[in-house]
Amino acid sequence: MYEHVPENPYLLLTPGPLSTSAGVRDAMLRDWCTWDSDYNQGVVQRIRRQLVALATNQVDDYSAVLLQGSGTFSVEATIGSAVPREGRLLVIENGAYGARMLQIAEVLGISACVYRVPESEVPDARRVCQLLADDPHITHVALVHCETTTGILNPLAALAEVVKAAGKVLIVDAMSTFAGIRFDAGELGIDYLVSSANKCIQGVPGFAFVIARRAELQNCQHHARSLSLDLYAQWQDMDKDGKWRFTSPTHVVRACAQALDELAAEGGVAARQARYTENQRRLAEGMERLGFIPLIDRRWQSPIITAFLYPDDRFDFAEFYEQVKARGFVLYPGKISQAQTFRIGNIGEVYATDIDRLLLVIAEVRGAENFA
Ligand SMILES: *Cc1c(COP(=O)(O)O)cnc(C)c1O
């Protein structure tokens, strides 16, 4: 384990890319050969096994496929490869990432429908059950675990249960929760779980991955609407010897390997979830004392990122952002249409002491003299 050296000018309180450890950044300082077994066996295949083990206890039934690009590329590869020509996709949407999945289906010419819920509310499993009963043509259901748009945590277990009871294939965008919130993909019946290297794994951006049920992946041959975003072809090649179909982002992959070792050293996902939960609790509690109201009801608030309403009409986020940045923290603008918000992420190499320092900075910027 490396000791954290605060050599960055500020801490990123954005939900990916996020602040990484010095160890993760150092891991990128040498070059790797994409066809040598040091890399393919020693790094790639090991990462794939580790990812599956993080996702589920049913390790023999699942396989991890790594894919170049940001998280969206893997979501697009999954939707484009999993849904056959005669298939139909139901997207459960309460934010920008759900909306993006619907857009992907539209661009790829995949038959799709949507169950849309207001951004600050969670989808209702009974409604999903009804929609599936009403439209027997639906073959696949896609949903977002934590809608990073608002930080709302959707009820994954309840939604998965009705989708599986109806016999549909389940695609979960767990981009911002995988490795940060515990759940077992096999137990929940998730067929495709999509996440990326630069969120709760705390690696750097450059690739994402899909942890999929082998039996489902087997069905995906010839489905892809794209040459490079073909999950089946990527899986077939990678499963042979760990070689990526096209040039792999070697340094980024090596950083991910280091990040996974650091996750284990921290105590695994349970320990990381506890740290994130404590970060978020302190953040929300402190911000409320400073007069900021969280957008999302406490029941549904994730331990990942929190959206706060602007405190008043005169609040100037751009100015606030610059003042906080000058004091060492980068915040995140809002992304929703229904209210004026900004967001603060608490994932990454971020600890309770960082949140405490942030709150003092915000108190200073807001002129809250009695805050301590
Ligand atoms: C980050 C994220 C994505 C992927 O976004 P990219 O910009 O493509 O990395 C998708 N879904 C959710 C919920 C996310 O948080």
The lowest-confidence range among 324-328, 341-345, 365-369 is: 365-369
Quote the pLDDT of residue 3: 63
Could you give all domains of the chain from N- to C-terminal order, each with its CATH number?
22-264 (3.40.640.10), 269-366 (3.90.1150.10)
Residue 273: name the closest of 155, 160, 183, 364 by CA.
183
Model confidence band, residue 90 (pLDDT cutoffs 50, 70, 90)? very high
- Please tell me if the CB atom of residue 209 comes closer than 6 angstroms to any atom of ligand 1: no
Q: Under a CB-based contact definition with an 8 Å cutoff, are residues 338 and 119 in contact? A: yes
The lowest-confidence range among 195-199, 303-307, 330-334 is: 330-334
- Please tell me if the CB atom of residue 97 comes closer than 6 angstroms to any atom of ligand 1: yes
- Among the atoms of ligand 1, which is closest to the Cα of residue 75? 10
Quote the pLDDT of residue 8: 86
Q: Which of 18, 72, 202 to mutate for ligand 1's pocket (most ligand atoms within 8 Å of CB)?
A: 72
- Please tell me if the CB atom of residue 175 comes closer than 6 angstroms to any atom of ligand 1: yes
Angle at 219 between CA 111 and CA 52, to 5 degrees: 105
- Please tell me if the CB atom of residue 234 comes closer than 6 angstroms to any atom of ligand 1: no
Residue 74: name the closest of 141, 173, 219, 177 by CA.
173
Q: Under a CB-based contact definition with an 8 Å cutoff, are residues 180 and 269 in contact? A: yes
User: Which residues are within 8 A (CB) of 95 and not within 5 positions of it... i.e. 6 or more apart?
Assistant: 119, 144, 147, 148, 149, 150, 152, 335, 336
Distance CA 214, CA 191 (A): 9
Q: Under a CB-based contact definition with an 8 Å cutoff, are residues 347 and 305 in contact? A: yes
- Please tell me if the CB atom of residue 180 comes closer than 6 angstroms to any atom of ligand 1: no
- Please tell me if the CB atom of residue 198 comes closer than 6 angstroms to any atom of ligand 1: no
Ligand 1 centroid – CA 72 distance (Å) = 6
pLDDT above 80 (res 219): yes
- Please tell me if the CB atom of residue 72 comes closer than 6 angstroms to any atom of ligand 1: yes
Quote the pLDDT of residue 1: 60
Ligand 1 centroid – CA 175 distance (Å) = 6
- Please tell me if the CB atom of residue 70 comes closer than 6 angstroms to any atom of ligand 1: yes
Q: Which of 103, 119, 171, 175 to mutate for ligand 1's pocket (most ligand atoms within 8 Å of CB)?
A: 175
Ligand 1 centroid – CA 225 distance (Å) = 21
Quote the pLDDT of residue 2: 55
The position carrying tokens 């990326």 is 196
Give the Å distances, CA to CA, from 154 to 48, 93, 94.
27, 10, 9
The model scores a pTM over 0.95: yes
- Please tell me if the CB atom of residue 196 comes closer than 6 angstroms to any atom of ligand 1: yes
- For the stretch 236-266, pLDDT in tens is 999 999 999 999 999 999 999 999 999 999 9
Q: Under a CB-based contact definition with an 8 Å cutoff, are residues 45 and 211 in contact? A: no
Model confidence band, residue 132 (pLDDT cutoffs 50, 70, 90)? very high
The position carrying tokens 């390790």 is 59
Q: Which of 176, 193, 201, 305 to mutate for ligand 1's pocket (most ligand atoms within 8 Å of CB)?
A: 176
Mean pLDDT of 66-70: 98
Task: Characterize the bridge pairing of strands 192-196 and 329-330.
Answer: unpaired
Ligand 1 centroid – CA 52 distance (Å) = 20
Residue 157 has phi, psi (to 5 degrees) of: -65, -45
- For the stretch 271-304, pLDDT in tens is 999 999 999 999 999 999 999 999 999 999 999 9
- Please tell me if the CB atom of residue 148 comes closer than 6 angstroms to any atom of ligand 1: yes
Ligand 1 centroid – CA 370 distance (Å) = 38
- Please tell me if the CB atom of residue 115 comes closer than 6 angstroms to any atom of ligand 1: no
Q: Which of 70, 144, 171, 194 to mutate for ligand 1's pocket (most ligand atoms within 8 Å of CB)?
A: 70
- Please tell me if the CB atom of residue 283 comes closer than 6 angstroms to any atom of ligand 1: no
Model confidence band, residue 5 (pLDDT cutoffs 50, 70, 90)? low
- Among the atoms of ligand 1, which is closest to the Cα of residue 174? 13
pLDDT above 90 (res 310): yes
Quote the pLDDT of residue 34: 86
- Please tell me if the CB atom of residue 93 comes closer than 6 angstroms to any atom of ligand 1: no
